[in-house]
Amino acid sequence: MEKGLPSRLFAFTVGLFVMTLGIAVSTKADIGTTPISSIPFSINLTTGIDFALVTFIYNILLIFLQYLILRDKFTLIHLIQLPVTFVFSLFTKITVDIVSFLEPSSYLGSWILMIVSVLLLGIGIAMIINSKISMMPGEGAVLALNQRFSVPFSWMKVAFDTTNIVIAGIICLVGLGELVGVREGTIFAAFTVGFAVKYSNKIIKHLFPDPDNNLD
């Protein structure tokens, strides 16, 4: 067995769970969901198709996007993201149930939940990437763009999330005639999750030393 593999698998699983917990918390904030889940959530709202199913299909499309970007650098290891996506969907269902009791009683309470969501996402994503096991297709797409255009990860993450918000907003406006699930909290997350990953990485990378770590 590869040295350190059990601890990395543990870190990956915990990171994946923490990431889905962050998404679940954002859905209870009532000021918009996270950018990475905004498109599946918007499709769910406008069509009624199961959120977990839409999320799975969306992530498969992101894996295909990675192939288009990386081409000959896209390897079989990238396909590990397929079973990871399935586990991600399962964790999403579990964490949504866990946070079902959260009901903000004020606008301030909503913002507290959104900030907690961003912090959880930053920690979860940093753990997933540093574990070197696999990653969610969303982060994989950002890393592929990061490698292709040599743009810092945190800034590429902001650009990617902003694109998700715009597309989700269009879906809501066309399908529902109003912005639902894409609000000020979504925009806040788009501009802060990348930096949450960056600063979480400063701590987590000490657990997984890697000279090729370029998330800063």
pLDDT at 181: 76
pLDDT at 208: 59
Q: What is the pLDDT along the chain (216 residues), one digit of tens a residue?
A: 566 778 888 889 999 999 999 988 988 888 888 888 889 888 988 898 887 788 889 999 999 999 998 888 887 778 888 888 889 988 988 998 899 888 888 999 999 999 999 999 999 988 888 888 887 888 789 888 888 887 887 788 778 888 888 999 999 899 888 877 788 888 898 788 878 888 888 887 776 555 455 445
Nearest to 19, CA basis, from 81, 104, 87:
87
Distance CA 121, CA 194 (A): 9
**Terminal-to-terminal C-alpha distance of the chain:** 30
Give pTM, 2 decimals. 0.79
DSSP state letter for 49: -
Distance CA 126, CA 58 (A): 22
Distance CA 136, CA 43 (A): 20
Exposed / middle / buried, residue 118 (Cβ in 10 Å: 0-12, 13-18, 19+): buried
Alpha-carbon distances of 16 from 22, 42, 109, 120, 124, rounded to whole Å: 10, 22, 25, 10, 6
Residue with tokens 């990953």: 197
Distance CA 37, CA 96 (A): 13
Which structure tokens are listed for 100? 């079902």
pLDDT at 211: 46
DSSP state letter for 3: T
Which structure tokens are listed for 3? 């040295």
